[in-house]
Amino acid sequence: MLSEQYTPAFADLLFDKTDEFIGIYDLTEERFKRVNRAGVRMLGFVSEAELLADPVRSRSIRTPPLPDEHRGSLIAGLLQTGSHQETALIGRQQGETFWGRMVLTAFSAQGEAYALVRVADEGRLRQTELELAQTARRYEAIFFNATIGIVVCNAQGLIISANQMAERQFGYPPETMLGRMIEDLVPAGVGRYHQKLRESFNNEPAVRAMGHNRELHAKRKDNSIFPVEVSLSYFWLEEKIHIVAFVVDITAKKEVERELLDQKEKIERLNASLERKVLERTHDLMDTLEQLERSKEELGRALDAERKLSELKSRFVSMASHEFRTPLTAVLTSAALIEKYPAGEQQDKRKKHIDRIRTSVTNLNDILEEFLSVGKLEEGKIAAHPKETVQSKLLSETVADMRSMLKPGQTIETQQKGPDQVFLDPSLLRKILVNLISNAIKYSQAGTVVSVRFTSNEGHLRVIVEDQGVGISREDQAHLFERFYRAPTVTNIEGTGLGLHIVGRYVELMGGTISIESELNKGTIVTILLPAL
């Protein structure tokens, strides 16, 4: 038997005392005859017998197995040279694979040719190599692309590495700094002193900054000198110290510092001059200051009033030039056209233009009424006169009067909740409703719904007017109650910009509050809360 050719001690050493795969391969039958326990485990089998019975692994542990002609060539070469080594992909029984270093050694026993097969798992080695390669790439990315200069030298001061920034700082072409002494980078008068400092650092290395409380300078290849900041670090390689210098060119920083010092001196001189002038004119300025203080408040009030008046004039002229011109133009045009229809059968055409004149005159009258209302409010001639009021009647009558203004397909929906009898000024409430409903109709498209809701409870009346119109931007909502203010989105729709101002004053006279919620192209909700006791 083959096993009788080996002593028990050698067999124990070979098969049981190693972590590597060891097998004896019959080169004639082209299959394994023996595999040690470590090899059985490495390939994922339970026992040697199971592995040797496997039709694939018993012939080849590669993945995929070598074709017959390749295996024959390998065996022929092995018999000729006596040994063969390579790294191959090895397959386990469960289908997993790993890279293994395979060493084949040919030998013969009892006239038969065999091979001793040893396999070492190189998975960890390859992983370590990959990690080392990644670490090297990270180091290169950090070292060579750093935005500060980095110079590495050995204990004797010989430069063994320098990054791109250091080469640019010192004016050396790529890789020409290597092999130079670190003292070549310092001014001539400092070289010998720097050599002693380097030797001292080698004896007591520490991570620290150089040049504490003093300025440092470096020398370029062209012998020009520039200011620097330097920090030192170190590392050990093969028991030899290596020093790392981090160099920052602070030329720009020094220029800024010099400019700041110059500016500081100029400012100090100017301050001194100004102080003298201030002292010389203090008396005159104190007199002037007293006069200014007395007139400041009065002048402020006058300027504020003038500004407001100017704004009102500008808004009034802009509004009036548009709102008066449109109906007056319609009146003149219709009057001219009426003259062209003298015949009796043309009465319907005359009526059409007469209606246009009537509508235009009504619009002018409404504008004048708003002007008069503002004037009366400013003069304090309007006051609230509350009395018992039936809210449902007031609401229905007001809405009925407004239906003639509706555009095609528009509707007004009403809702009333709570006690019908309330105590407030019906005249002012009616004017508020007319203004809000007319705005809702005017700024909404045809076919939309205007909603008016009354809710009375706990001594208050809540009035909500909601439309589906063009809406008001958040920026414009802050100015809605100003006189003559009109949002840019509705300048093409007739109006004076006084309606909401008047409504706000009416609500104030009645002791109530008004709020508006709106979003562009999504409609507007006006909510009024009035005391109704």
Residue 61: its H or E element: none
C-alpha to C-alpha distance for 425 and 533, rounded to whole angstroms = 11
Mean pLDDT by 10 residues, the chain (533 residues): 51 70 92 91 92 91 88 90 91 88 91 92 73 74 82 90 89 90 84 79 85 82 90 87 89 88 88 82 75 72 59 50 53 62 64 59 55 62 86 88 86 92 88 87 90 91 92 78 64 62 84 90 91 81
Confirm if 517 and 524 have CB atoms less than 8 A apart.
Answer: yes
C-alpha to C-alpha distance for 246 and 162, rounded to whole angstroms = 10
- Identify the pLDDT of residue 6: 46
| Beta strands per DSSP E along 266-409 | 387-390
- How many of the other CB atoms lie within 10 Å of CB of 137? 10
C-alpha to C-alpha distance for 497 and 310, rounded to whole angstroms = 16
pTM metric for this prediction: 0.37
Listed residue (299, 195, 205) closest to 243, CA to CA: 205
Residue 133: how many CA atoms within 13 Å on its side-chain side?
Answer: 6
DSSP SS3 for 496: coil
C-alpha to C-alpha distance for 399 and 402, rounded to whole angstroms = 5
- Identify the pLDDT of residue 273: 83
Measured in whole angstroms, the distance separating CA 260 from the mean position of its chain's CA atoms is 36
Q: What are the structure tokens assigned to 204, written together?
A: 């007591």
CA distances from 502 to 186, 374, 447 (A): 84, 7, 28
- Identify the pLDDT of residue 3: 46
Residue 307: how many CA atoms within 13 Å on its side-chain side?
Answer: 6
C-alpha to C-alpha distance for 433 and 318, rounded to whole angstroms = 27
Q: What are the structure tokens assigned to 223, written together?
A: 């012998």
C-alpha to C-alpha distance for 118 and 519, rounded to whole angstroms = 82
Listed residue (80, 89, 247, 33) closest to 153, CA to CA: 247
- Identify the pLDDT of residue 49: 93
User: What backbone torsions phi and psi does residue 248 show, to the nearest 5 degrees?
Assistant: -120, 125
In tens, the pLDDT along 48-76 reads 999 999 998 899 999 888 888 888 899 99
DSSP SS3 for 528: strand
In tens, the pLDDT along 314-365 reads 455 444 544 455 555 656 566 666 666 666 666 666 666 565 565 555 555 5
